[in-house]
């Protein structure tokens, strides 16, 4: 019979009368029924706290199902009524000594949940006894209870030496007890500022032995704890990794990803490249298998794979087709697959990848098409031997006249021009035919940059820029900055063509806009042009820094940290846990005589991260600006610019922050 009938609002007086009924009920069936009604009302949000004294009396009933409901009630209301919760202490102590191990475990678990000071004080002795209980179910429950108690009162756990008792449970003959002890120690280590879990090879080896008999979640706990083992001798990491590899065949995706994380971690402590290559080959099939699961699991796997192949590109290097998008994949899975396809692309498979991307560019999903078009451009920047074919594909897409496709193509063609100067400028005419289709700031800024950069080759560059300048004051800042620089480039390369545009743009930039970056750049250009045209040419037309693809390998330190958090939110966000968690305890690769100090493998050695490239470009631009002012008298700025009225100096402000921390090791 369904329990739905219990989910009806009950009156306190009626429920109390049923609880205290004197009618014969040898099997306690009526009490079980009324307790179900009370729990149902709690679930619906009805206040059942007035029944507290009556529920305490029901604790005497020796039926396990009733005790579970009574304890659930106590957990729900004990914190709001701590004084009344004291009435339950005697029954808790009695249940902890019950012959039935399920009742003993239930009592100790419930006391751990009720974080009321007097109950916590009474919990210490029973918890110590339960950690040594004859039944493994009680011991494993007590192990988790220690972790809960640590969150409430750390000093009490340390003074009662519960951590040492947990450590002793690592030698327990029951693998479930070992798994729970490991989980509790890991939780305590992550929450403590002065306790750091550290396993030696002997304990780590015992934990791996216990894996075979643990439940799937127990295996996850143990594998997670193996990250606290730091190999100290050659061969230890290889031996442990080899014993963990059978977990890669597990049906549970959490076990598989955690096993992958541990193996990737242990690779940092291996000496022979042959061993690492062998393990990389073993990692590929389980990761491919994860992609046959549901879309949510696929996405988690894809985000983690993107991290792994940045560190170990040999993993999945021959499995490109697995990441080809299916028509029914959700958009978030498709976008994640595109990133991996790009990372795995090389000169040998560029034609295969390009053919697939061209198919994607004809899809109906706008976001997916944009990403596919941009990936074609990034492919051209990454693989020089395939650049010509990528550009041909982009031109075909531009000729479709689809607005958003044209704009994405222009954005990436700008990067191609920067990567390969004086090679593919013959397509500029095709780009100029699509100026009327541009309505997005990024595409406009890219087209304006192309016009300014090749103003000496585009005969009507002044006319094209003049068309853009009609709406200068209404444009976003990035377009205004591009127009300002492009106009100055036109003037430097073709003074006659740009002499009417430059004064007009500089007047707008220095007098009629509020953005400080735009105004400052306008002042700098005016000062350069009015005092030393040669210096202006050297600065504005200086050789640009080498560019690369926009999503390349992240910083090595961040990558190493994220690989220690595979199968967690950090590996999905691709951000350090410190950015979204308070009181996070960082993880690092701990020093060891066998630790490999090598940079992560990259798909192309010359590639730099987009952030690093952007920062470098800013530094060089700032350096160029500083150099351009050397030797000039800034007091004459107004006389050099007939349009400027007042010049206000604004001091710069900088600040820095320093952090630090200390750890105390608990060796196991």
pLDDT tens by residue, 485-523: 999 999 999 999 888 999 999 999 999 999 999 999 999
Which of 278-287, 364-373, 584-593 is the least confident region? 584-593
Retrieve residue 88's tokens: 């339950």
Residue 332, CA atoms < 13 Å, CB-side half-sphere: 11
Which pLDDT value is given to residue 628? 30
Average pLDDT (546-554) is 68
Task: Give residue for tokens 């396993």.
Answer: 199
Task: Give the pLDDT of residue 507.
Answer: 92
Mean pLDDT, the chain, rounded, equals 84
Q: Terminal CA-to-CA distance of the chain, rounded, Å?
A: 52
pLDDT at 640: 37
Q: Residues 6 or more apart from 28 whose CB is under 8 A from it?
A: 61, 63, 66
Asked if residue 314 has pLDDT above 70, the reply is yes
Closest CA to 203 of 235, 181, 187, 234: 181
How many other β-carbons are positioned within 10 Å of the β-carbon of residue 486? Answer: 27
- The span from the CA of 77 to the CA of 141, in Å, is 22
- The pLDDT confidence band at residue 552, using thresholds 50, 70 and 90, is low
For a pLDDT cut of 90, what percent of the chain falls above it?
A: 54
CB-based contact 204:241 (threshold 8 Å): no
Q: Distance (Å, rounded) from C-alpha 225 to C-alpha 207?
A: 9
Q: What is the mean pLDDT of residues 619-648?
A: 33
Among candidate residues 361, 353, 305, 293, the one with its CA nearest the CA of residue 329: 293
pLDDT over 70 (residue 614) = no
> Who has greater pLDDT, 656 or 194?
194
Alpha carbon distance 428, 449 (integer Å): 12
| H or E element, residue 495 | helix 495-498
**For residues 305 and 320, is the Cβ–Cβ distance under 8 A?**
no
Spatial separation of the C-alpha atoms in residues 15 and 522, rounded to whole Å:
80
pLDDT in the model for residue 61: 83
Distance CA 284, CA 286 (A): 6
State how far the Cα of 256 lies from the Cα of 283, in Å rounded to an integer: 10
Other C-beta atoms closer than 10 Å to the C-beta of 507 total: 16
Residues 498/491, Cβ–Cβ less than 8 Å: yes
Q: Are 144 and 160 in contact (CB under 8 A)?
A: no
Model pLDDT, residue 555: 87
The tens digit of pLDDT for each residue in 362-372 reads 898 999 999 99
* Contact of 73 with 38, CB cutoff 8 Å: yes
pLDDT digits (tens, 9 = 90+) for 120-150: 888 889 999 999 999 999 999 999 999 999 9
Instruction: Specify the 3-state DSSP secondary structure of 252.
Output: coil
CA distance 71 to 6: 19
CA distance readout (Å), 525 to 295, 510, 559, 628: 53, 10, 41, 10
Model confidence at 668, in pLDDT bands (50, 70, 90)? Answer: very low
The 3-state secondary structure of 81-149, one letter per residue: CHHHHHHHHHHHHHHHCCCCHHHHHHHHHHHHHCCCHHHHHHHHHHHHHHCCCCCHHHHHHHHHHHHHH
- pLDDT at residue number 33: 87
Q: Under a CB-based contact definition with an 8 Å cutoff, are residues 78 and 40 in contact?
A: no
Neighbours of 585 (CB within 10 A): 16
Give the containing element (helix H, strand E) for 667. Answer: strand 665-667
Radius of gyration of the chain from its Cα atoms, rounded to whole angstroms: 34
Give dist(CA 94, CA 80) in Å, integer.
24
Specify the pLDDT at position 608: 39
| 541 SS3 class | coil
Report, as an integer, the average pLDDT of 41-56.
85
Cβ–Cβ < 8 Å for 369, 407: no
Percent of the chain with pLDDT over 70: 87
> How far apart are the C-alpha atoms of 8 and 4, rounded to whole Å?
9
CB 351 within 8 A of CB 379: no
pLDDT above 90 for 262: yes
Mean pLDDT over 281-290 rounds to 94
Interatomic CA distance for residues 602 and 584, integer angstroms: 29
> Can you tell me the mean pLDDT for 320-333?
93
**Global pTM exceeds 0.85:** no
The answer to whether the beta carbons of residues 644 and 637 sit under 8 Å apart is yes
pLDDT surpassing 90 at residue 607:
no
CB atoms within 10 A of CB 276: 21
Task: Write phi, then psi, for 17 (nearest 5 degrees).
Answer: -65, -40
What is the DSSP secondary-structure string of 306-354?
A: HHHHHH-TTTTTT-GGGGSPPTTS-HHHHHHHHHHHHHH--TTTHHHHH
What is the SS3 assignment for 665? strand
pLDDT in tens, 214-261: 999 999 999 999 999 999 999 999 999 999 999 999 999 999 999 999
Instruction: Output the CA–CA distances (angstroms, integers) from residue 64 to 60, 403, 451, in the order listed.
Output: 11, 68, 80
């Amino acid at each position: 019979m369904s329990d739905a009938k219990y989910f009806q609002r009950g009156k306190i007086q009626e429920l109390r009368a049923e609880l205290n009924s004197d009618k014969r009920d040898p099997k306690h069936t009526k009490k079980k029924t009324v307790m179900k009604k009370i729990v149902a009302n709690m679930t619906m949000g009805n206040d059942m706290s007035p029944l507290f004294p009556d529920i305490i009396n029901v604790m005497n009933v020796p039926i396990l199902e009733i005790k579970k409901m009574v304890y659930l009630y106590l957990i729900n209301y004990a914190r709001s009524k701590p004084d009344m919760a004291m009435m339950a202490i005697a029954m808790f102590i009695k249940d902890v000594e019950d012959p039935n191990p399920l009742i003993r475990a239930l009592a100790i678990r419930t006391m751990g949940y009720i974080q009321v000071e007097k109950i916590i004080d009474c919990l210490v002795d029973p918890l110590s006894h339960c950690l040594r209980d004859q039944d493994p179910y009680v011991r494993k429950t007590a192990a988790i209870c220690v972790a809960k108690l640590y969150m409430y009162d750390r000093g009490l756990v340390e003074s009662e030496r519960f951590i040492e008792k947990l450590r002793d449970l690592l030698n327990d003959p029951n693998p479930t007890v070992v798994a729970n002890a490991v989980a509790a120690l890991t939780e305590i280590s992550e929450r403590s500022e002065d306790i750091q879990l550290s396993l030696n090879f002997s304990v780590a080896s015992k934990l791996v032995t216990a894996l075979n008999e643990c439940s799937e979640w127990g295996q996850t706990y143990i594998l997670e704890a193996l990250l606290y083992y730091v190999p100290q001798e050659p061969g230890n990491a290889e031996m442990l990794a080899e014993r963990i590899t059978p977990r890669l065949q597990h049906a549970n995706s959490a076990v598989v990803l955690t096993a992958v994380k541990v193996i990737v971690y242990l690779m940092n402590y291996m000496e022979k490249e042959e061993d690492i290559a062998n393990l990389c080959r073993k990692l590929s099939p389980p990761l491919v298998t994860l992609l046959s699961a549901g879309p949510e699991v696929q996405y988690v796997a894809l985000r983690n794979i993107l991290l792994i192949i940045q560190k170990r590109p040999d993993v999945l290097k021959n499995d490109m087709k697995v990441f080809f998008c299916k028509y029914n994949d959700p958009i978030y899975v498709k976008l994640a697959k595109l990133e991996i396809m790009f990372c795995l692309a090389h000169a040998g498979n560029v034609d295969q990848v390009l053919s697939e991307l061209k198919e994607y560019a004809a899809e109906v999903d706008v976001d997916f098409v944009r990403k596919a078009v941009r990936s074609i451009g990034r492919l051209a920047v990454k693989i020089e031997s395939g650049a010509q074919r990528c550009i041909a594909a982009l031109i075909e897409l531009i000729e479709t006249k689809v607005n958003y496709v044209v704009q994405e193509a222009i954005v990436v063609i700008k990067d191609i021009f920067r990567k390969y100067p004086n090679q593919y400028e013959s397509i500029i005419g095709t780009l100029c035919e699509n100026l009327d289709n541009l309505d997005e700031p990024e595409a406009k800024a890219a087209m304006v940059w192309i016009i300014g950069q090749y103003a000496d080759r585009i005969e009507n560059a002044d006319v094209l820029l003049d068309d853009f300048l009609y709406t200068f004051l209404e444009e976003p800042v990035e377009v205004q900055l591009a127009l300002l620089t492009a106009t100055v480039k036109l003037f430097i390369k073709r003074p006659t063509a740009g002499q009417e545009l430059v004064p007009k743009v500089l007047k707008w930039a220095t007098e009629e806009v509020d953005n400080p970056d735009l105004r400052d750049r306008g002042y700098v250009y005016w000062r350069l042009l009015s005092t030393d045209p040669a210096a202006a040419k050297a600065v504005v037309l200086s050789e640009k820094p080498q560019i690369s693809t926009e999503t390349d390998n992240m910083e090595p330190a961040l990558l190493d940290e994220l690989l220690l958090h595979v199968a967690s939110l950090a590996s999905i966000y691709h951000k350090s846990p410190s950015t979204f968690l308070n009181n996070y305890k960082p993880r690092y690769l701990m020093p060891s005589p066998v630790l490999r100090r090598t940079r992560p493998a990259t798909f192309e050695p010359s590639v730099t991260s987009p952030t690093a490239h952007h920062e470098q470009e800013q530094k060089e631009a700032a350096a160029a600006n500083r150099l351009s002012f050397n030797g000039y008298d800034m007091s004459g700025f107004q006389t050099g610019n007939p349009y400027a009225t007042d010049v206000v100096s604004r001091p710069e402000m900088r600040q820095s922050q320093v952090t630090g921390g200390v750890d105390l090791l608990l060796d196991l």
